[in-house]
């Protein structure tokens, strides 16, 4: 079996707007390993959701893949039509969104919704599908599955709806689960339970997961590999241990900034956290050269005019920076 289940190569996904072309994914490259979780992290507006939704072309009317390729399980799925992708959705690839309420159908009971998926994609009879639904609800940690199966989505709490969404997403034993901020709307206790559940399911079913969030703590807990996004591009990707080690030989200055903004238990009391000054550039007003240069304390004249490529600096570690060696960078020296 190939090591990678999904590969995105130089993806450009654009929005056509009255004010101009918004290059929301502007050369994204990343890979998801079989049976592993890739965490995609980055500030708001960096293109995480656009990248994740490009996989199944879950697009708005003014949105389209301009160029690039997406390969899934040996097939170039970026060439498929929306209709063809619909067959993959809920079969080989499932998606969980931030707002479970809006994704569940309010006029159908939980069992109807999950059963329909099973009957459609797995040729089950109604009775088989109902039995499997009860089993799935149990698997996602619902203690009274028979009762919940009869409920309508508006009768469920946020945490319960998200569990139902996960059960529905897993109904077809997908090879890939795309979860875009699946726990952001939930309180911390429920969030922790759902994350634990997703990890268990990954281990039991061998599902690969793309986990999108701007919460580094969650990434640390969930991800085997990490892709850090900035302004529509991946600026660094590596094994999660490398990213979170805090002493990697190579790192992107943006990742370094993100890491320095996480409070650590070992920090002295009252120590001020380093927050990266400035904001993500407006997509209609991108700087020339490196997109991060205006906020980078190490930026040189070269960075302000030339754009660095995403380069493999060591095995399975990619960085988009002219000065990827963390030890030798120092403010204003270059």
- Write out the residues near ligand ATP by the rule CB under 6 A: 15, 17, 22, 24, 42, 44-50, 60, 214, 283
Cα–Cα distance, 269 to 245 (Å, whole number): 22
Identify whether the C-beta of residue 72 lies closer than 8 Å to the C-beta of residue 5.
yes
Identify whether the C-beta of residue 110 lies closer than 8 Å to the C-beta of residue 133.
yes
- Show the tokens assigned to 1: 């079996």
In the bound state, the residue with its beta carbon closest to Mg ion is 49
Cα 193 to the chain's mean position, in Å? 19
Taking the CB of residue 152, how many other CB atoms lie within 10 A of it?
A: 15
158-170 and 110-122 helices, crossing angle to 10°: 10
214 contact choice in Mg ion, ligand ATP, none (CB below 5 to 8 Å, kind-dependent): ligand ATP
22 contact choice in ligand ATP, Mg ion, none (CB below 5 to 8 Å, kind-dependent): ligand ATP
Q: Which is nearer to Mg ion, 25 or 176 (CB)?
A: 25
242 contact choice in ligand ATP, Mg ion, none (CB below 5 to 8 Å, kind-dependent): none
CB of 235 to Mg ion, least distance (A): 17
Q: Which is nearer to Mg ion, 49 or 133 (CB)?
A: 49
Identify whether the C-beta of residue 325 lies closer than 8 Å to the C-beta of residue 250.
yes
CB of 23 to ligand ATP, least distance (A): 8
CB of 328 to ligand ATP, least distance (A): 30
Q: Which is nearer to Mg ion, 49 or 162 (CB)?
A: 49
The phi, psi pair for 127, rounded to 5°, reads -65, -40
Burial annotation 113-146 (CB, 10 A radius, 16+ → b, else e): bbbbbbbebeebeeeebbebbbebbebbbbeebe
CB of 46 to ligand ATP, least distance (A): 4
268 contact choice in ligand ATP, Mg ion, none (CB below 5 to 8 Å, kind-dependent): none
Q: Which is nearer to ligand ATP, 132 or 252 (CB)?
A: 252
283 contact choice in Mg ion, ligand ATP, none (CB below 5 to 8 Å, kind-dependent): ligand ATP
* Separation of first and last alpha carbons in the chain: 45
Taking the CB of residue 31, how many other CB atoms lie within 10 A of it?
A: 19
CB of 60 to ligand ATP, least distance (A): 5
Q: Which is nearer to Mg ion, 219 or 293 (CB)?
A: 219
Pairing of strands 176-180, 93-96: parallel
249 contact choice in Mg ion, ligand ATP, none (CB below 5 to 8 Å, kind-dependent): none
Strands (E), 263-315: 311-314
Binding stretches for Mg ion (CB under 5 A): 49
CB of 49 to Mg ion, least distance (A): 3
Q: Which is nearer to ligand ATP, 45 or 324 (CB)?
A: 45
Identify whether the C-beta of residue 137 lies closer than 8 Å to the C-beta of residue 164.
yes
82 contact choice in Mg ion, ligand ATP, none (CB below 5 to 8 Å, kind-dependent): none
Q: Which is nearer to ligand ATP, 133 or 183 (CB)?
A: 183
CB of 190 to ligand ATP, least distance (A): 20
CB of 44 to ligand ATP, least distance (A): 3
Q: Which is nearer to ligand ATP, 22 or 313 (CB)?
A: 22
Residue spans of alpha helices (H) in 96-226: 100-103, 110-122, 126-139, 145-149, 158-170, 188-205, 216-222
């Amino acid at each position: 079996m190939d090591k990678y289940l999904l590969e995105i190569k130089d993806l450009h996904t654009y929005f056509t707007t009255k004010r101009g072309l918004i290059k929301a994914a502007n050369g994204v490259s990343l890979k998801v390993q079989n049976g592993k979780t890739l965490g995609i992290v980055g500030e708001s507006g960096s293109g995480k959701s656009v990248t994740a939704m490009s996989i199944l072309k879950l697009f708005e009317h003014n949105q389209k893949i301009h160029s690039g390729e997406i390969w899934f399980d040996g097939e170039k799925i970026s060439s498929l039509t929306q209709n063809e992708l619909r067959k993959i959705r809920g079969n080989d690839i499932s998606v969980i969104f931030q707002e479970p309420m809006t994704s569940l159908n309010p006029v159908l009971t939980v069992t109807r919704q999950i059963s329909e998926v099973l009957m459609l994609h797995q040729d089950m009879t109604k009775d088989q599908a109902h039995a499997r639904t009860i089993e799935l609800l149990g698997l996602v940690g619902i203690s009274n599955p028979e009762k919940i199966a009869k409920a309508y989505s508006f009768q469920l709490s946020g945490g319960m709806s998200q569990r139902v969404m996960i059960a529905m997403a897993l109904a077809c034993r997908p090879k890939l689960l795309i979860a875009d901020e699946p726990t952001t709307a939930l309180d911390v206790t429920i969030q922790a339970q759902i994350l634990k559940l997703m990890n268990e399911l990954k281990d039991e079913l061998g599902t690969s997961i793309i986990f999108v969030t701007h919460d580094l703590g969650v990434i640390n807990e969930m991800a085997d590999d990490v892709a850090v996004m900035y302004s529509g591009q991946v600026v660094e990707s590596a094994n999660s241990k490398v990213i979170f080690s805090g002493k990697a030989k190579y790192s992107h200055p943006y990742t370094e900034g993100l890491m320095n903004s996480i409070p650590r238990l070992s920090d002295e009391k009252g120590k001020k956290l380093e927050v990266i000054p400035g904001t993500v550039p407006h997509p209609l007003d991108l700087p020339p050269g490196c997109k991060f240069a205006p906020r980078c304390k190490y930026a040189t004249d070269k960075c302000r005019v030339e754009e660095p490529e995403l380069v493999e600096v060591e095995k399975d570690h990619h960085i988009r920076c002219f000065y990827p060696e963390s030890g030798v960078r120092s403010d204003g020296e270059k």
